Amino acid sequence: MASTISVENLSKRFRIGLKEKRPETLAGSLFSILKAPIQNYRDLRNLREFDERNGSDIIWALKNISFELKKGEVLGIIGRNGAGKSTLLKVLSRITPPTSGKIKINGRVSALLEVGTGFHPDLTGRDNIYMNGTILGMRKVEIDRKFDEIVAFSGVEKFIDTPVKRYSSGMKLRLGFSVAAYLEPEVLIIDEVLAVGDADFQKKCLGRIGDVVRDGLTVLFVSHNMGAIKNICPQSMYLKDGKIALLGKSDEVVKTYLNENLTHFPTLSGEELQKRLEWDPGINPHTVNITGVSILDNSLHPRKEFHSDEEVIIKLDFEVYSQVKDIRIIIELLDDDNTQILATQISDTEDFIREYSYVKPGNYTTQCTIPGNTLGNNEFFVSAHIIHPGAEHVQLIKGLSFNMIFKGYNNIQTGTFGSAMVRPKLEWKMSNIDLRH
């Protein structure tokens, strides 16, 4: 079977802009004005002629990327922020040209790379659906056939004749995904914009992706949702510093990626933490940011190892840059295979709901306590999430870990449940039913 997508030695580089030094005197300002035409000419010439020899201001977003996808295959793409994921999709979508390498794509390509991709703000939702279909090469009768499905899936029926510039980001996303997924492309390219939507719509989107995969559509899917990657994509690509670090089965690729993100210390903060954080979507400026994560004992000392009768405290520090509503703060424990063992969110507590329906700008700290006599003998990996619904999701995936040593209850440490990861000391009762007669 011929390849639907063939990429060979694809590379993309950019020149980093240097901050211009401002003159401090009137004479310096006049001289800058006089030399501006010459400097502009040099800058334009350098943009055409830059190479690796003068590479102090050159960044390779992609370097020698090669892969093939046949019709009906699905490829997940994962990696840290700045790894080159979005650049790769933009090059494949013909939004930006490659510096070198070859790309061959057979079939109509539909891409959802940013909220409202391909929409004209002054046109209505209805007009934008027809415009996007026409760009894909569809006839009006084909668009007419799909129109009702697109609108129904998007949930913007009441506003379909309203200019898109008046839509919220969530409405643009819903309509944008519906257009991309329903207008019968042969190749569907999706960036991590799905995280902007609410949980119900994300579930609908993932279900629709599953449908188009079964229909034989070729899909490239970028996401920080490792569960979605493993469920939807049989194979995945791990991008690291613009290069392919690993290409293979999704289970193996995801496991490698998450293990490389893990730190061996009980505290993570500063620059090292910021390198490990992921934002869905990658908007800037951010509304929230995680500034520190620690695993502590009940004396608030950082620890990596606990006995099963000890409390484990997970401390999460974060900063809010602009007022947010209904913020969600979530802590997860996962095992080595990325199975979710425990999940808790701060909005489960009534005090938080009462005091923090709106969170003002500032620095905050939270603590989550896992009671003693809860966990079994295992290494547990900690993920942290802060979600500003409909706008932003910042997350640390398996950034820290701790070991739990199971002590047993009443000096009994073995049993048929010996491998259980959650082994709480629960209330039991027993009686001799013979004595009741």
- Name the residue ranges covered by the structural domains of the chain: 3-12+62-258, 267-405
Residue 415: band (very low, low, confident or very high) from pLDDT cuts 50, 70, 90: very low
The yes/no answer on whether domain 3-12+62-258 falls in CATH 3.10.350.10 is no
- pLDDT tens digit string along 197-235? 566 777 777 778 777 777 788 889 888 777 778 888 899
Mean pLDDT, residues 63-84: 89
Residue percentage of the chain with pLDDT more than 70: 83
User: Can you give the pLDDT at residue 235?
Assistant: 95
Nearest to 248 by CA among 263, 234, 269, 268: 234
For the entire predicted model, the pTM comes to 0.65
- pLDDT tens digit string along 283-342? 667 889 999 999 999 999 999 999 888 999 999 999 999 888 888 899 999 887 778 899
Whether the upstream peptide bond of residue 281 has omega within 30° of 0, thus cis, is yes
Q: Which CATH class is domain 267-405?
A: mainly beta
